[in-house]
Structure 1
């Protein structure tokens, strides 16, 4: 926005219209050029034009005085880190053919000079003058300041670039997770995906527990405990370890898992089983993804320290984040498969039948039914009040006497 020497006639006219109780909407219409038949807007435009012409005449004399003394003078007390900001500030003066000037006063104690000027700038200033209060004007100083600003701009650019690289890693992971969530929300059949998760989980764990060239090194008990309650029983893997094989164990557990999932599908029905698949997978993805985001933020906070170990922080962040992502997806697979095999959702008709049975048992009474005390309605009858039966006696001598049944 140009700074008008002497004042801004348009701004002064708008301010005057506000004092004249014109609304903001009407003032905006008064300064517009759209065609209209609205008499109120036409009148407002006429008023605005009159006020603007009036203030232009008033400020002309003031503008001439400012031009006579050299126009707008920009005085800067320090230089900004960015040359663009300094140039914008300089550009406020000398606009539209008006005279103007800008000048900056710097100190060696300014952050820009102290951090990026260094001892070289101090030595230069010492050679030019011995009096610290004497102003120094030199193109060499100007170039040195601009060089310092370039260093700051380069550093800031590097920070933004590094932040973008961090965000790019996170964005790729986000796209994969959201693609998986969209598949769940779109209602596609997830049976093949669940079976693939089951097969992958079993293969990874069997190869992990059965690692080693010698079967004596295999952790058979660990694998049995791993799947205990959802794929293995106490009778599994009790034979000699030499009778086992990696692929045979994988095939046995995968076949057992497929069979149990198919039995659950037949028990629940296709529609309910598919809803169950979506619910389990979506819940695990959401919970573990939020935990992963928090872990990634923690990793980003301290990854810059890798630079002290001569490692590129961005490369280290990319490698560790992908390891964390692989760990998260493996956990999603395992939790999803375990929940699919161990949790049995109740069918709607079973829930409704149980609710009806509970209501029926409550209404039928029995030994377990707690009888409610009768609710008294109306004003309580005192012992000396007339008996409500109409006998004329006091309540304590009539229906309220001990041993008599009464209703009140």
Structure 2
């Protein structure tokens, strides 16, 4: 055209373009089949192409939003773990945290050996055996005779006092040197379990879309199962820290 003409743009769309195949709709497909290889210029066709473009943009937006929703689950978990790590790194009271970890591990063990939830009765032989699995060696074992006739809370207090007092007695001669070691044990267990948890979450996310075939919402399933896995990880961290520290024996050198 002449210099200064506004001109116009023309776009060419193939009928085999994935945009048209997936989002064009049945009416447009029938029109394409009817027209064959002829050039098509029509307001109706242009409108259909525009609508298809909007649908694909909406689809892509939904996909990006869904990815962000999935990422948000792990992001929140990461914030919790990092806050926990920073608290441990900056704290001078990790020894008190270890006491809490022992208590939480004991709670898990007790809950696994409850005979009657309402009456809070405990399978005492089963509890004693389970306590061995938490790291209590034979010389520190808690025996059934000690717990006979005690109620749930009394059993908990007795076991915690025994476990903690034995642990304190073991580390007392080198306590000041031992405290940094406690911090290292706690941090390493958190880090290792967190890395493994990320791998498990990736595997869960890879297969979660199959849940839609069972009429389940994949994102809701991912959120719920991801939460359960995170809770299990935290319990496992407590158990592994307790197990490692309860196995500690301080070697005392005797002077010749």
With the length of structure 1 as denominator, give the TM-score of the two structures.
0.56
Please say if 1:106 is aligned against 2:17. no
| Cα pair distance change 1:320/1:345, threshold 3 Å | farther
Deviation at residue 251 of structure 1 after TM alignment: 1.1
In structure 2, the partner of 1:326 is 231
In structure 2, the partner of 1:34 is none
Name the SS for the 1:102 alignment partner.
coil
Distance 1:202 1:226 in 2: 10
In structure 1, the partner of 2:109 is 205
Higher relative contact order (CA 8 A, sep 6+): 2
Match of 1:142 among 46, 65, 76: 46
| Cα pair distance change 1:112/1:259, threshold 3 Å | same
Distance 1:279 1:234 in 2: 26
Residues 175-214 of structure 1 mapped to structure 2, 5 A cutoff: 175-212=79-116
Deviation at residue 242 of structure 1 after TM alignment: 6.2
Name the SS for the 1:198 alignment partner.
helix
In structure 2, the partner of 1:120 is 27
| Cα pair distance change 1:111/1:302, threshold 3 Å | same
Deviation at residue 322 of structure 1 after TM alignment: 0.8
Name the SS for the 1:105 alignment partner.
coil
Q: Is the 8 Å Cα contact of residues 110 and 122 (structure 2) preserved in structure 1? A: no
Match of 2:245 among 319, 340, 347: 340
With the length of structure 2 as denominator, give the TM-score of the two structures.
0.86
CA RMSD of aligned residues (A): 2.9
Match of 2:181 among 273, 276, 284: 276
| Cα pair distance change 1:242/1:189, threshold 3 Å | closer
Distance 2:234 2:124 in 1: 25
In structure 2, the partner of 1:170 is 74
Deviation at residue 213 of structure 1 after TM alignment: 5.6
Name the SS for the 1:211 alignment partner.
strand
Q: Is the 8 Å Cα contact of residues 304 and 313 (structure 1) preserved in structure 2? A: yes
Q: Which runs of 5+ in 1 are unaligned?
A: 1-66, 71-96, 354-408
In structure 2, the partner of 1:132 is 36
